[in-house]
Amino acid sequence: MRRIVLLTSLLALLLGVPGTCTGQTATGQITGTVKDASGAVMPLVKITVSSQLTGLTRETTTSDSGNYVFPLLPVGVYSVSAEQQGFRVAKRSDIHLNVDQVMRVDLDLQIGEVTQTVEVQGNAVAIDSETAAVGQVVSQRQVTELPLNGRNFLQLLFLGNGAVETDGEQGSMRQDAGNAISINGSRPTSNNYLLDGTSNTDTALGTPSAILSVDAIQEFKEQTTTYSAEYGFSANQINIVSKTGTNDLHGSLFWFGRNDAFDANNFFNNLVGSPKSKLRQNQFGFVAGGPVYIPKAYNGRNKTFWLANYEGRRTRRGFLDFLNIPTPDQLAGRFTSEIIDPLTGQPFPNNTIPESRFTRLANLARTKFFPAPNANLPLGNYIRSRSLPTDTDQYTFRGDQQLGRYGTVFGRYTNTDYTNTIVGNTTDIGDVFFVQKTRNWQISHSVPVGNNFVNQFRFGYVGATANQHGATAPQADIEPLKLTGVFTNLNDEQRSYPAVGFGGVGTGLSGGGSAGNDYQASYQPMWDLSNTTTWIHGRHTLNFGANYRRWSLQRDLANDFLGQFTFSGFFTGNKTRDNAVADMLLGYFSNASSFQPAGFSVGNQAGNPREFNFRYFAPYVQDDWKVTPRLTLNMGVRWDFRTVPFETNDRMGWRDLSNPRGGLLVADKTLVDKGIVGDGSYYKFAGRQNPQDASKRVFAPRLGFAFRPFSDDKTVVRGGYGVFFDSAEGREIDGAADIYPYVSRGNYIQTLGQAAPLTTDQMFPSFASLGAATPAANTFLAVSMSPEPRNPYVQQWSLSIQRAVGRNTTFEVNYIGNKGTHLLMRRNIAQSLPPSNPALCAATPTAGDCPVLARRPYPNFAVYIDSDWSGNSSYNAFNARLERRTSTMVFTTVYTWAKSLDNKSAAAGIGNDVAGWQGFLNNHDVRRDRGRSEFDVDHRLVSSFVYQLPFGRGRKYLSSGPGLANQFIGGWQVNGIVTFQSGFPMTITAADIGGLNDTFGTNRADLAGDPNPSGFEPTIAKWFNTEAFKQPAAGFLGTSGRSILRAPGINNWDTGVFKNFRISEQASFQFRFESFNTWNHTQWGVPVLNAAESRFGQILNTRSARINQIGLKVLW
């Protein structure tokens, strides 16, 4: 209690006194030195900064060393003037201040009358001469004019160094919020998304909550390396600044449309003679802002401003792909391979299973789950063609008020509603429907206190809903299954069909029924409170402040209520796909899983809702010390404290490290009172709400420098080192609540040689009655809270050289390195140990220690996927950037050469890491999986440009043409994003024959040769030398390593052509033609990676062919 009081007092102190967070407050800083004609510094000079957009004005005086600082300035366009008796006024105008930028504006005073002014236009590109941070600023012009596919601000991340995107839970469990995005070797959960300086992050998966319309964005910046102590929560900072109203009424009406009639056909559509897949997309809306003006009542110029934005999207997008599905003969029980009757051990006559032996689930599956084959191709026997909808509506309102000497205040509210449908299984009964809602608001107050203090207070909220559900199954289809031990009070969103899939010798066959894990409810309310101040004292710019966040994850992950079943052919011969289908017809599953009701299930509600609570508190201090006029040191420390989460009603448990047989510590005292804990041999009462108190040793020091070595001030050398505490997926503790008696998460595994296997007609056992907890009620304990929670952190270091090449161009080279420690990993600690004699097991799976149960390290755990904080990573990169900005052009080219290594790239699997969802191939040998990160890309080059052609009125050529001619000649603009990227790593997988390795059916292939021998030419039929890989025998783990090959890379041009028509002095009309994958270069997908698949090594899909888009805008 005493510690809580101390922390609360410290928070109150820091929130009531000065501190700063220039980047996190969505602001920038202007600093400089004033000298006279002889070069001597001038103290006590009056300096005035004024916004050319809103009229905001601040004043200060130079220090004894001639320096001045204006901290916490809103992003915008400014002028700076210096005034001293006996000298002419020196003024710099058109200074574009970016988010988190420290802009240096030096002024020289000349002898003369103070009524005279020497003004210089300040639109040259500035080098970053004051900080050690490495990042990328994207201006409003780039945001609104570059061809962004989908008009999603996340595309802006990939304009900079080291940002890549692969597949992960971020893209499958949350839609339209990006996928697994890694920046400079950090994990996808390392990204702290900020909107106007407050949190915009859904911590369940580390995704952005609100995808703000690009027409409402003023500026965008990402920071990834050696930034100041002002930042925290995650290793990378992604800051969006929303637009604000100005003294002039500005805005636009827009519409962007796509239609497949204007697009190119996909390679595989052409291959099979199929027409183009359907695409209809309309994006429309407006943005408008200006001063508040009420005729004869109020004129808000220079005081009160408003902004409103709305954007809607309606998309209907088709696709075509290739599947292998069971044939009608197979579903009728007629096979060409030998089918063994598990009851007699003898083959069925004529390899035909009598329909009287079909299980109830098999009868439903063969009539409802699988369509008839419609093709006979090497790619598959079924061509699936679907069209799916996506709808979005978003609106944003913002108001700004200047309060004179009391500073400025602003408020913003953003609301987003999103719905989407994706394919989850073979037919539409396996579709998954997403419903996402985001509410994000903020109020902020900034006030200068004298000439040397500026204070800013922020209070924000983000509410993120991300729900999903499957297609509703009619009750008439479910009742004949006569399943026992399942929830019977399912609502329409929970009552989806059972799911059927194939593994083992059935690898490559598409399943049927519902999608696995199709139901999910997730809501995150987060409150974000901060106060920040800057104090300028001599050569020191001191920043100190704090950030406090409080949030909860209100989730329900119970799903697969009517079962998810895998059939692998283990029980009818284990040789061909026929055996896998035969197992399905007879009901002999290799794996069956379901969330089942238990004694404490909530009332008449199916599922298991829970609420986990989180707290975060981070005070910091930062000193930017101008040691000399050319050298600045950036020194800071942050205390990045977050609590170990707890469940509101104590409905959770975690692993008991003192129980050698495997057991749980539970937080709920009721389990003792009701006899659930029993004799303590399996459950014990923890006597606390979470495993342990959070570590207080969370100090994150930062040290950096910026040095201008030459007198021309065109070169800066920057470098630094820092510790940055990181974030992990909040959902990785979900399983701590999914334990008996709140729910029973069942997972029933059957392996080769098992005696008396069960069938689907015998499922599921019931755990609805209260009683002492037993291992049988917890056969699948997954995504559990670690009994030893840790704080992940990243050490970062960098060295950079930046040079101004001419007035408007800069060139920069960087070395960036980092090392991740205590990174979160899933690890199935209950996986059976490898057999002592795999060769014996391959021949006789029931001999010795071959049976899986004989090798379990914890007899009480069938599956226990624990949270393990021992992950680590390393990243080293060289990157270069060339940037040019003029009034008619913005051009940026970046190149990255990098290497990223780890033993796991996310808590769950991402990229091509098939085994990652449950941990590792061998969870008792983590080092075996050390290799290239799933997001490792060794070469990446990206160029982006916005260029107004030099023709027509006011341009270099044909500037004096008549008005009518100018309408055709002038106003043209070309824009583009060009990306060349090497492919992501690939791991070659195989089947776990007989299930003896206890790996949920997966394995790695044996390496038996060179995957890319001399002279080998990749083709889509054989992307690598498939003969180099073999299927391991039963009981053997494959010998090939993780991430040993690379998938196809990216060679893509997205371009746009604009034509601007002047309507009046204040208004114009803009026509856009944008083309994505302009040259229609086929962007190959990932080949089939499973050596047990008949299509092994083949490429079956591509990214999108050329898509064209038309846009219309009216601007004023």
Condensed to tens digits (0 to 9), the pLDDT of residues 62-76 reads 988 889 999 888 888
The residue count for the chain: 1116
| Whether 192 and 226 share a structural domain | yes
Please state, in angstroms and as integers, the Cα–Cα distance from residue 17 to each residue in 24, 240, 485, following that order: 17, 26, 59
Q: How many CB atoms lie within 10 A of CB 440?
A: 25
In a domain, 997, yes or no: no
Tokens 């396996």 found at: 430
| Whether 150 and 235 share a structural domain | yes
Distance CA(782)–CA(865), nearest Å, equals: 4
In a domain, 374, yes or no: no
> What is the pLDDT, as a whole number, of residue 671?
96
| Whether 150 and 93 share a structural domain | no
Domain total of the chain: 2
508 within 8 A of 324, measured Cβ to Cβ: yes
Indicate the residue among 220, 242, 264 that finishes a domain: 242
Distance CA(8)–CA(641), nearest Å, equals: 13
| Whether 148 and 98 share a structural domain | no
| Whether 103 and 148 share a structural domain | no
Give the closest residue to 82 by CA, choosing from 104, 54, 112, 60: 60
Partner residues linked to 1114 by β-bridges: 253, 1069
In a domain, 747, yes or no: no
> What is the pLDDT, as a whole number, of residue 101?
84
In a domain, 41, yes or no: yes
In a domain, 138, yes or no: yes
In a domain, 65, yes or no: yes
> What is the pLDDT, as a whole number, of residue 116?
59
Question: Looking at residue 85, which CATH number applies to its domain?
Answer: 2.60.40.1120
| Whether 140 and 221 share a structural domain | yes
| Whether 234 and 145 share a structural domain | yes
Distance CA(345)–CA(95), nearest Å, equals: 84
| Whether 89 and 177 share a structural domain | no
| Whether 46 and 114 share a structural domain | yes
Indicate the residue among 185, 220, 242 that finishes a domain: 242
Structural domain span for residue 164: 134-242
Q: 707: burial class by Cβ within 10 Å (0-12, 13-18, 19+)? A: middle
Indicate the residue among 242, 263, 286 that finishes a domain: 242
In a domain, 143, yes or no: yes
CA angle 399, 401, 404 (to 5 degrees): 170
What residues in the chain have per-residue pLDDT under 50?
1-24
For the chain, the first-to-last Cα distance in angstroms comes to 59
At position 107, the amino acid (one-letter code) is: L
Question: Looking at residue 138, which CATH number applies to its domain?
Answer: 2.170.130.10
pTM (global) more than 0.75: yes
| Whether 103 and 157 share a structural domain | no
Element (H, E) at 839: helix 838-843
> What is the pLDDT, as a whole number, of residue 64?
85
Composition of the chain by helix, strand, coil, percent to 5? 15, 45, 45
Q: CB within 8 A of 236, min separation 6: which ones?
A: 183, 184, 186, 190, 191, 192, 222, 223, 224
| Whether 145 and 230 share a structural domain | yes
Q: How many CB atoms lie within 10 A of CB 555?
A: 24
In a domain, 404, yes or no: no
| Whether 94 and 193 share a structural domain | no
